[in-house]
Amino acid sequence: MTYHRITSIDDRYFKPFHQLLQTIFPPEEVLEYELWREPIQDPAIYVYAALDGEEVVGATEYRYYKELRVAMTDFTIIGKASMGIGRFLMRNREQHLEQIMKDSGTVSLGMFAEIYDPYRAGIHSFGGVSPMNPIVRREVLSHMGYKRLELTYVHPSWDHEGAAVSELDLCFLPQNEELSELPALLIVSFLTGYYEALPNKPEAWHAMIEQLKTKETVKLAPL
């Protein structure tokens, strides 16, 4: 497989990549095709496709906030089972992030990710691809070391409708496995920066941010 970065919607692999997104995720989690034009050109946003020949069989998007010393995995998509796609994407992402940290002279505290709670999410077929089943994904991410932040989490829908999506947990993969909490203001800084691109946010999101500002720390719990 080839680890191919996509930096333009005019890239010949962008259309099959976007179609894979639409196949895997529910509509409220997928940014419209044309709305990708500007953000995908941002040098700080890394969108990579896993190519099997000319076929897009997986993808991942991530970023690193050197001023906060945290990374974020926006998504990891496995388009086919039994090809080692998840491992391929994870290792390439890890190696790239290590180089970014080296270049920026920073050491990461860890990586955020939004992870579906299968019991709140109900039934999502996720394209009928078994590795993308919410129960499977959650257990895999738990094995990787992700922990759940103990807060009632909502995020703005990516369809720009401003709906509050509450079927996911905000989680964190700490570099130090013994880490048991995060500073609340670190979470606030991360979330306000991450969702700056979505001006239409629900009141529930603003209330969550204000509640976080009243705390000193947020505990990390088993996923």
Specify the pLDDT at position 217.
Answer: 98
Give CA separation, 171 vs 40, 57, 58, 116, 204, in Å.
24, 26, 22, 10, 19
Percentage, residues of the chain above pLDDT 70: 96
Q: Are 162 and 156 in contact (CB under 8 A)?
A: yes
Separation of alpha carbons 84 and 74, rounded Å: 20
Band of pLDDT at residue 197, cut at 50, 70 and 90: confident
- The residues near 197 (Cβ < 8 Å, ≥ 6 apart) are 39
Band of pLDDT at residue 44, cut at 50, 70 and 90: very high
Residue 96 phi/psi, 5-degree rounding, is -65, -45
Over residues 65-85, the mean pLDDT reads 95
Residue 51, pLDDT > 90, answer yes
Q: Any idea which fold 2-222 has?
A: Aminopeptidase (3.40.630)
Q: Are 90 and 146 in contact (CB under 8 A)?
A: no
What pTM was computed for the model?
Answer: 0.92
Over residues 159-171, the mean pLDDT reads 89
Specify the pLDDT at position 155.
Answer: 92
Specify the pLDDT at position 32.
Answer: 92
Specify the pLDDT at position 122.
Answer: 63
Give CA separation, 163 vs 115, 203, 204, in Å.
18, 9, 9
Cβ neighbourhood burial of 69 (10 Å; 0-12, 13-18, 19+): middle
Over residues 27-37, the mean pLDDT reads 89
Q: Where are the domains of the chain?
A: 2-222
